[in-house]
Amino acid sequence: MTSQVAQVAGYNLNKTTSLTLSVQDAITHATNSGTALENMLELLEPKQIVNNEIVNDSYQECLQLKDYLSEQLWSDTEADGVVEVQNALDIVTRAIVSYEMMKDAAEGDWELVDVCIPSL
């Protein structure tokens, strides 16, 4: 969905996403995609994600959904709507960061250490 608003809260939007989803569909899709990406990452070693097309496609999808939901967060005025969008953003952002950390580990940029991170 291309944003029809060039300026939100006094800030110019530099880019908009081309998704054609309603906000509620984007929330559902982001939650499902982010969770699926995290689940796939748990099953793979860092070296395997570089060549895994499904994981890479899921990562790209999560990036688009994150951009779209970030845009929508500015336009939602109801407290419940903001909370729903922010929760979906948290899930998709966590999946994106996990993917990027594993990709960096596979490329030798840093060493992956097994730690437990409490859920948000």
pLDDT in tens, 91-113: 999 999 999 988 888 887 665 56
Domain 21-106, second-level architecture: Up-down Bundle (1.20)
At residue 17, the pLDDT reads 53
Residue 20, token pair as written in the block = 């054609």
Q: Measure the CA–CA gap between 78 and 24, rounded to whole angstroms.
A: 13
At residue 37, the pLDDT reads 95
Higher pLDDT, 116 or 41: 41
Higher pLDDT, 112 or 36: 36
Q: Which residues pair with 8 in a beta bridge?
A: 11
pTM of the model: 0.74
